[in-house]
Amino acid sequence: MDQISALDPTSVEDVIGKATAALLGQARDDGHWVFELEADATIPAEYILLVHYLGETPNLELERKIGTYLRRIQGSHGGWPLFHDGAFNLSATVKAYFALKMIGDAPDAPHMARARQAILAQGGADKANVFTRIQLALYGESAWRDTPTVPAELILLPRWFPIHLFKMSYWARTVIVPLLVLQALQPLARNPRNIHVPELFVPHGAHAANRAPHQSRGWSAFFGGLDRVLKLAGSLWPKGLRRRAIERCRAFVTERLNGEDGLGAIYPAMANSVMMFDALGYPETHPDRAIARLSVEKLLVIKDDEAYCQPCVSPVWDTALMCHALMEVRSEAADTAAMRGLEWLKTRQVLDVKGDWAEERPDVRPGGWAFQYNNAHYPDLDDTAVVVMALDRARATVAPGADHALAIDRGSEWVVGLQSRNGGWGAFDADNTYHYLNNIPFADHGALLDPPTEDVTGRCIGMLAQLGEKPDSPRIKAAVDYLARVQLKDGSWFGRWGVNYIYGTWSALAGLNAVQVDPRSDMMRRAVDWLVAIQNADGGWGEDCDSYRLDYRGYQPAPSTASQTAWALLGLMAASEVDHPAVARGIAYLKATQEDDGLWGQEHYTGGGFPRVFYLRYHGYPKFFPLWAVARYRNLKAGNSRRVAYGL
């Protein structure tokens, strides 16, 4: 009997039942879910270096566990990749090597020798990215002159100036502001073990290229010249102006310190804030420095044999998506758990803080949700749309009459208010499209901005349509036009926050279905044909993080993963294709790969951070997305309609 013929209702129900039971058992006591969020070697390595930068007494057992983790994820190429089974990455490898040497690994140990050889073969640590070179400068391993100059006075510039902090993304803003102070003061790590890494530098070697691959020749020449002028003028800055700029940076950070959840609720900004307070002379006991330092500790994941530091945490995102999956299950236990999760989510809505987004849209009332436990200055459109859709679905089906009206109204009002002029939505800001800024020397990562994206736009129109907005409303028509413009010739859509075109295509199809775009339309058919064409022989779908490469020329086959298979299935079902043989094969793949604990395993990274620079492994994705897909398949097959009734 083949897999597809084995998809009888009983076996599908068994898949749903086992996964549901497993996930219900992972809820926290107050009803929310939060799963591990893993990046690459960079963050745990930086954590080790932060402890020694500050001259703290290290936790030797924690260092041992982080060392075990770093050695395990070292690649066969001798270095460290940005994602599971990825290529050698110079910057991640420099930091991992430095951290391992700091905790006591001998330079002549085989794994260290292989890493060092790989680093030198790539031109040495001088060729690492900007953030790595700044880390090295803080330790005195390289000179500050070898890093791009970003004067602290940047924070004093008027809003109309071409280079301005509020023209950058939220993550860049929160990372850069404390870094402005560090670059102005140029402190030196305490480094009580006196560990250095001169062996990672090529004598008389060339420095990193002045122009990153994504940067244009003309803009790079202009900003490169500006950087040289700033370096020459560094000693000429009026001292009073410098003091005023540093004070403005300190005030910016302090206002957004965010308690135990940290500046921006992301590790790089949080670590920079701690170092900034230290450089300003704040003692360890000062409330601002102490709470900033505590926020970093809360990102640690400590297990029996290993430990690592997360880049941030994802409780709102995890809980909102879990609630959608559980409402698809349609059981009393799942509905009860979903309602508890939604009640927890309602307490996390930001109703009283006008965050940085208000710089662009000052007349919009707050009402969004952040990704993390708390991040009031930086809610995001993606989380907000997903939470609002879950609350709306619950009051319509699971708990008729539930008191969700205020949360839904304020959330949707905020989303509407942050639509960009091109019809799409970004993640945190409206109209954050100052693309020339990605050419400044500091932006060698190419991720300084937060422009509208296909995936977030699909989510936002899905929310509006689910709440009853008509397909011919001006804002929905503008968003659909945007999606039509950015669809690739092969029928797929880019996925900014998930890997990659599978994620973007699912997100767009879900939104287009919600706004009643005809599933027989050219836009929908081309997307369906693309998803069907890239299905693997085992019935699943997969896509590698290398799909973000600048010279992307089309889909390249990759091993199937549980989360990407679920996205492809949800996308096909959003296009009214539940009866397509590809869907049956995909469901059969999920049935065949479900593990004994009722869930699915997945080492591959399918979360987006910064394309080509930073990727995420959401440990929850292979758990709740497959459940969601299988339950939706069952519901559509058993129902009278083949159309998905929700915006997601």
- Active-site residues, by number, are 382
Q: CA 88, 90, 94, 99 torsion: positive or negative?
A: negative
90: phi then psi, degrees, rounded to nearest 5 = -60, -50
- Among 444, 449, 346, smallest CA distance to 395 is for 346
- Among 225, 1, 42, smallest CA distance to 129 is for 42
Rounded Cα distance, 502 and 555, in Å: 10
Rounded Cα distance, 39 and 314, in Å: 13
- Among 448, 329, 442, smallest CA distance to 14 is for 329
Positions of E strands within 127-261: none
- Compute how many other C-beta atoms are within 10 angstroms of the C-beta atom of residue 563: 27
CB 74 within 8 A of CB 96: yes
- Among 56, 99, 55, 92, smallest CA distance to 77 is for 92
Rounded Cα distance, 547 and 550, in Å: 9
Rounded Cα distance, 357 and 166, in Å: 9
Pairing of strands 37-38, 300-302: unpaired
- Which pair of tokens denotes residue 244? 């005023």
CB proximity list for 99: less than 8 A, separation 6 or greater: 44, 45, 46, 48, 49, 66, 67, 70
Residues 455/457/462/463 CA torsion (nearest 10 deg): 120
CB 380 within 8 A of CB 349: no
- Which pair of tokens denotes residue 501? 């075109």
- Give the rounded distance of the alpha carbon of 448 from its chain centre: 14
Write out the H or E segment, with its range, that includes residue 436: none
Rounded Cα distance, 24 and 338, in Å: 9
Rounded Cα distance, 529 and 526, in Å: 5
Rounded Cα distance, 536 and 520, in Å: 24
Residue with tokens 């997601």: 648
Rounded Cα distance, 424 and 93, in Å: 37
Write out the H or E segment, with its range, that includes residue 614: strand 614-618
DSSP 365: P
Q: How far is CA 490 from CA 480, 486, 498, in A?
A: 18, 11, 19
Coil/strand/helix, residue 425 = strand
Alpha helices, H only, 190-266: 217-232, 239-255
Amino acid present at 363: D
DSSP 442: G
- Which pair of tokens denotes residue 47? 């954590």
